[in-house]
Amino acid sequence: MPEAGSTSSSPAGRESFGSRLGAAMAARGPLCVGIDPHPALLKDWGLTDDAAGLRRFSLTVLEAVGSLAAAVKPQVALYERHGSAGMAVLEEVLAAAAQAQVLTIADAKRGDIGSTMAAYADAWLRDGSSLAADSVTLSPYLGFESLRPALDLAADNGRGVFVLALTSNPEGASVQHVGGADSVARRIIEAAAAENSRYAGSLGSVGLVVGATVGSALTDLHLDLPSVRGPILAPGLGAQGATPADLRRTFGAAYPQVLGTSSRDILVAGPGAQGLRDAALRTLVGLRGE
Amino acid sequence: MPEAGSTSSSPAGRESFGSRLGAAMAARGPLCVGIDPHPALLKDWGLTDDAAGLRRFSLTVLEAVGSLAAAVKPQVALYERHGSAGMAVLEEVLAAAAQAQVLTIADAKRGDIGSTMAAYADAWLRDGSSLAADSVTLSPYLGFESLRPALDLAADNGRGVFVLALTSNPEGASVQHVGGADSVARRIIEAAAAENSRYAGSLGSVGLVVGATVGSALTDLHLDLPSVRGPILAPGLGAQGATPADLRRTFGAAYPQVLGTSSRDILVAGPGAQGLRDAALRTLVGLRGE
């Protein structure tokens, strides 16, 4: 169980992830750009489906939008597809993002128990790890509390996590909605809220993944997202079906916590840097409500 | 949804994973040895906590028990800890296991949706991928059906999956037991049973992960494991608390499907090959009921 929170900077001297992300969202707007080197996009960009293509794709996106977005989110599966060579590219992308001072969310959806979970935490959240990111996405099928080693290491290092809570894929309900008034999703959300009590400031470092197109499930399941006081990563903007206006409607009072995530909608505007920037800016304008 | 099953060999010409695993369990006994290069074990073995240490550790275990065990299970988190260099070692270990003709279970607990899930399937289950294993463990927080790309690619390639169902860590119940008579764990188990109807023979290629120390949860939750007709990976033998006799008691009629998994109990007997072999044989004798 976390200790009662107090400061917003970690023992490592780094400000907490929640504070850093909150500042970036205030300064730039609540946009996270997914770096998703899908085989079809690589082809559209005239790149090869190998480590060299991955590298060019990823660094192009980063260079184009790294100064506009609050965060970038490399999709780990698409690097893992290329084995260790792909993971080496991901290491380079994470290092380049740190250099460019844009926050990173490694979209890895990892989850395990005990010393194995500690090893995943070590990979993604430890200072000095070649795969260290500002935050990582986690999957809680083994229980929210099984993620403890990552929650604690993140707190120690000024890094963060986003825990899968409620997703908009149709088959997600068969796990996440189970339990009625005390649903699986609700348990995850309440555990994240409790966890964020260790953090001062307006935004804790324990975020959630909640689909942009979950519709009325938030109210149907009586889910209280404002109480979480953590960032909400909302994938599904654009190509997958939600507009910024939908996001405001769906999240209501929790909208200030929402980090809208767009991947394909922006990436199809590449490979030219100006096209990528314009697409990101269009999305940002919508998210800011300008 | 799967087509009604018929043959036990895949279009790729490889026999189905279930058939291959069933044959290995019949010939060698139902033992899977975990290859878990934990930092503490590396130290005990006099090895460095880096890629070189990982490599020596993993190949030593493989050489010692590769001809005794039905399968070996590298714990992916412990390679990922060392970034791309660790993943390169894992590639070498998977290739060496294939050479040694022992089945591999990549314990990765991956899970995502759509084209991202397809990318994970591609990494672990595609012929020609540097990380291809005979099978991979998957996590179903996004719904069993979200794993479809892996289920289908495994079937096409004579490979398999083990889906997390019911684990014995105390915090697992907060997700897996939710829903009463129609619990999350039960939904996963029923979906795996339906999926295995595509496979002929006694063992389908869709396995489950069920903790060796789940106690009475199987009967409490009315879970029908024999109906699954798939292999059951049961971690928790030895150091984590279950004896082979416990396994028989816990799994009852499903015991013939159970692949007992031991890691630490065997690994602490290293680094000598004879010690590792003796420890594996002792466990095997218990599992075979000799």
Q: pLDDT tens across B142-196, in order?
A: 999 999 999 999 999 999 999 999 999 999 999 999 999 999 999 999 999 999 9
Q: Which of A1, A63, A75, A5 is closest to A36 using CA atoms? A: A75
This prediction's pTM? 0.96
Residue-level pLDDT at A5: 43
> B85–A130: do the CB atoms touch at under 8 Å?
yes
Residue-level pLDDT at A288: 92
Tokens representing A93 are: 């992308």
Look up B109 and say whether it is catalytic: yes
Helices (H) and strands (E) in chain B, counts: 13, 8
Average pLDDT, chain A: 94
**pLDDT at B1 exceeding the cut of 50:** no
Those of residues 100-139 in B touching chain A at CB distance below 8 A are 109-117, 119-120, 122-123, 129-131, 139
Residue-level pLDDT at A3: 43
Question: Rounded to whole angstroms, how far apart are CA atoms A285 and A146?
Answer: 39
Residue-level pLDDT at A185: 97
Is the minimum CB–CB distance between A6 and chain B shorter than 8 Å?
no
Span B46-94, pLDDT tens digits:
999 999 999 999 999 999 999 999 999 999 999 999 999 999 999 999 9
What average pLDDT does the segment B263-290 reach? Answer: 95
> A175–B175: do the CB atoms touch at under 8 Å?
yes
The minimum CA-CA distance between A70 and chain B, rounded to whole Å, is 23
> B119–A171: do the CB atoms touch at under 8 Å?
no
Segment (H or E) for B278: helix B273-288
> A123–B81: do the CB atoms touch at under 8 Å?
yes
DSSP letter assigned to residue B14: P
**Do you find a cis peptide bond into A140, omega within 30 degrees of 0?**
no
Nearest CB neighbour to B171, from listed A77, A78, A146: A146
Question: Rounded to whole angstroms, how far apart are CA atoms A137 and A200?
Answer: 22
Question: Rounded to whole angstroms, how far apart are CA atoms A69 and A16?
Answer: 19
Tokens representing B183 are: 């619990």
Question: Under a CB-based contact definition with an 8 Å cutoff, are residues A90 and A124 in contact?
Answer: no
Q: Which residue of B has its CA nearest to A39?
A: B119
Tokens representing B268 are: 């602490």
Question: Rounded to whole angstroms, how far apart are CA atoms A181 and B287?
Answer: 43
Average pLDDT, chain B: 94
Nearest CB neighbour to A141, from listed B88, B130, B175: B175
Residue-level pLDDT at A81: 98
Task: Write the Ramachandran bin of A185: left for phi over 0, alpha for psi from -120 to 50, otherwise beta.
Answer: alpha
Spatial CB neighbours of A290, under 8 Å, sequence gap ≥ 6: none
Nearest CB neighbour to B184, from listed A81, A84, A175: A175
**pLDDT at B248 exceeding the cut of 70:** yes
Residue-level pLDDT at B12: 64
> B115–A182: do the CB atoms touch at under 8 Å?
no
**pLDDT at B7 exceeding the cut of 80:** no
Question: Rounded to whole angstroms, how far apart are CA atoms B265 and B65?
Answer: 13
The minimum CA-CA distance between B123 and chain A, rounded to whole Å, is 4
Residue that is written with structure tokens 């993944």 in the block: A209
- Looking at chain A, how many residues does it have? 290
Residue-level pLDDT at B202: 87
Task: Write the Ramachandran bin of B251: left for phi over 0, alpha for psi from -120 to 50, otherwise beta.
Answer: alpha
CATH number of A24-288: 3.20.20.70
Domain B21-288 is of which CATH architecture?
A: Alpha-Beta Barrel (3.20)
> B143–A75: do the CB atoms touch at under 8 Å?
no
For A3, A120, A185, A270, B64, the CA distances from A132, given in Å and listed in that order, are 24, 11, 28, 27, 34
The minimum CA-CA distance between A22 and chain B, rounded to whole Å, is 27
Low-confidence stretches of chain A (pLDDT beneath 50):
1-7
The minimum CA-CA distance between B290 and chain A, rounded to whole Å, is 32
Is the minimum CB–CB distance between A195 and chain B shorter than 8 Å?
no
